[in-house]
Amino acid sequence: MTYAELVKDRAPLIHNITNQVVMNITANGLYAIGASPLMAHEQEEMTDIINIADALVLNIGTITEPVFQAMQVAGKKATEKKIPIVLDPVGVGASDYRMRVVLHLLETLKVSLIRGNAAEIMTLVLLKQAGKGVEGGIETDATAVARAFYRRYRIPVVVTGKEDIIYNGNILSKLKNGSPALKQVTGTGCLLTSVIAAFLAVADDGHYIEAATEAVSFYTVASEMAAEKSKLPGSFQVQFIDQLAALTVSEWEKRAMIEVMR
């Protein structure tokens, strides 16, 4: 069974402490792949919520102090419960505050995987802003960025961009699917982070790298199918949610371009 099928079969409950811009598309995208989304960020209920959750997503896109505190409570409990924690350091280079938040989470929690664009991940390697704004947009070798990040933090990493790189210190996967239309729609990076969390939630922790690779591949193949219907951003977003729901395992396998290096 593929991880995509396991997600549909088990409907893992993914708890997202995420930004206000993308909550809606994140919930709809998780439903589309068959997972159960949950969004909450009141500190007082974080322990109870993690008790029923199968994975935790921490996304700092519109982070505030109260939400950061909720992340710490949820992350501590998720670390104890040994469910996957996936971190999305949205725009980490945009402020010293974001950098402090991300470093604190990386230091105090057992983060299972981090997902960002090359600029965000490189910012965490350099400990200062690489590229511009939230979107980054640095031209660099994503493979080198992934390796440098892992060397510093020893945490599996997904670097998304024209090609997507997944690296856990051992296996490096390079994925060549996807559509440029993804960059025109807000939240497609954030949703991918949550989709990865859903795939990790149905995997043994020795197989997170395979589950993450399949998640990214499945997601980017769905984006290609959506872009075949429309490349304009409004229609593309609608089609993308449709294709996340409609994509079959056989269609995915036919299109997936994954290069694995050890």
Binding-site residues: 39, 115, 160, 187
Considering beta carbons, is residue 119 or 212 the nearer one to a copy of itself?
119
Please tell me whether residue 77 binds a copy of itself under the rule CB under 8 A: no
CA distance 111 to 249: 29
> Is 118 in contact with 159 (CB distance < 8 Å)?
yes
Pattern 120-149, a copy of itself, x by CB under 8 A: ------------xxxx--------------
Pairing of strands 85-88, 258-261: unpaired
CA distance 198 to 194: 6
User: According to CB under 8 A, which one of 38, 57, 105, 166 is a site residue for a copy of itself?
Assistant: 38
Please tell me whether residue 211 binds a copy of itself under the rule CB under 8 A: no
Give the binding-site size for a copy of itself (rule: CB under 8 A): 57
What length is written for the chain?
262
Q: Tokens 């997972």 sit at which residue? A: 35
Residues that constitute the known binding site for ATP: 115, 160
Q: How many helices (H) and strands (E) does the chain have?
A: 11, 9
Could you tell me the smallest distance in angstroms from the CB atom of residue 27 to a copy of itself? Answer: 4
> Is 127 in contact with 120 (CB distance < 8 Å)?
no
Chain residues in the site for a copy of itself (CB under 8 A):
13, 19-25, 27-28, 31-32, 36-42, 44-45, 48-49, 52, 61-66, 91, 94-98, 132-135, 184-187, 230, 232-235, 237-242, 245-246
